[in-house]
Amino acid sequence: MSFAVAVDGPAAAGKGTIAQAIAEHFDFQYLDTGLLYRAVGLAHLHGFKNLQKVAQKLDQQSLMHPMLRTPAVSKAASEVAKIAEVRAALVNFQREFIKRSKGAVLDGRDISTVICPNADVKLYVFANQKIRAKRRQMELKNRGISVDLKKVQNDLRMRDDVDMKRVEAPLQIASDSIRLDTSTLSVKAANQQAIEIVNQKLNTKSI
Ligand code: C5P
């Protein structure tokens, strides 16, 4: 039987860091589902027209492209993520990932609501927008990409808006999600809180 942890939330809230810390701590498999949409978004920027086909053919290799974390691809990912056929094509990839893992941690926008509504643990990770913008700016700087803070904040605001208001699988807080506000938490403290939540659940369920 597999144990699934769903980590959802807006961009740059700390989902990925927390999801990776959980995976590492419990020796679970980790999938950053944003990379799936980013890979389709990159194909779109490269002029591919049949994005459903691109989504169906994604493999681990396509999730390692160095351009995937750039601001242009973030925006493109959010645009292609509105397309029902693209989302449908990516459902299997994500569910199969969960099925073949003894323990799986997935982070994204619709993991708790669409991909794995029966997840053993559901976390909704968030932080205030200014803090998220500062974190994203720092992350981009560390990758050698320099962007003005106002622009980063504006991009985040627009992406939040698209992700929360789209018709297909919008970002929502599942009724049974545990909320984790990382605004004032250090990375270590946020990771510890998340690990403790998973630990409590694991203690009530043997895998
Ligand atoms: O998580 P990340 O910021 O890398 O995701 C990039 C974009 O992919 C998001 O803004 C969102 O539009 C889309 N996405 C999604 N569903 C997911 C993961 C990401 O719609 N599960």
What pLDDT digit, counting tens, does each position of 161-194 carry? Answer: 999 999 999 999 999 999 999 999 999 999 999 9
Chain mean pLDDT for the chain: 96
CA 58 vs. chain centroid, Å, equals 17
Q: Residue 52's CB: how many other CB atoms inside 10 A?
A: 16
- Phi, psi values for residue 206, rounded to 5°: -95, 135
Question: Could you give the CA distance from residue 175 to residue 202 in angstroms, rounded to a whole number?
Answer: 20
For residue 131, pLDDT over 60 is answered with yes
Q: Is residue 57 within 8 Å of residue 91, measured between CB atoms?
A: no
Would you say 12 and 132 are in contact if contact means Cβ atoms under 8 Å apart?
Answer: yes
Task: Indicate whether residue 120 lines ligand 1 (CB < 6 A).
Answer: no
Confidence of residue 205 (pLDDT cuts 50, 70, 90): confident
Cα 78 to ligand 1 centre (Å): 6
Structure tokens at 136: 């994203």
**And the tokens for 181?**
């506000």
Q: Is the pLDDT of residue 138 over 90?
A: yes
Element containing residue 126 per DSSP (H, E) = strand 121-126
Indicate if the pLDDT at residue 206 is higher than 70: no
**pLDDT computed for residue 46 by the predictor:** 97
Residue linked to tokens 């409590």: 200
Residue nearest to atom 12 of ligand 1 (CA): 78
The stretch 10-31 carries a mean pLDDT of 97
Best residue among 85, 90, 93, 109 to mutate for probing ligand 1's pocket (most ligand atoms within 8 Å of CB) is 109
Q: Is 155 in the pocket of ligand 1 (CB under 6 A)?
A: no
For residues 71 and 41, what is the distance between their CA atoms, to the nearest angstrom? 11
Between CA 177 and CA 75 the distance in angstroms is 27
Please name the residue whose Cα sits nearest to atom 1 of ligand 1. Answer: 34
Q: Which two tokens stand for residue 141?
A: 């700087």
Residue 112 CB less than 6 A away from ligand 1: no
Closest residue to atom 19 of ligand 1, CA basis: 34
- 94-112 pLDDT per residue, tens: 999 999 999 999 999 999 9
pLDDT at 1 over 60: no
Task: List the beta bridge partners of residue 104.
Answer: 4, 29
By alpha-carbon position, which residue is closest to atom 9 of ligand 1?
78
- Residue whose Cα lies nearest atom 14 of ligand 1: it is 34
Task: Look at residue 2 in the predicted model and tell me its pLDDT.
Answer: 85
Expressed in angstroms and rounded, the spacing between residue 188 Cα and the centre of ligand 1 is 24
pLDDT at 21 over 80: yes
Predicted confidence at residue 93, as pLDDT, reads: 92
- pTM exceeding 0.85: yes
Identify the pLDDT of residue 207.
54
The 3-state DSSP class for residue 166 equals coil
Q: What percent of the chain has pLDDT over 90?
A: 96
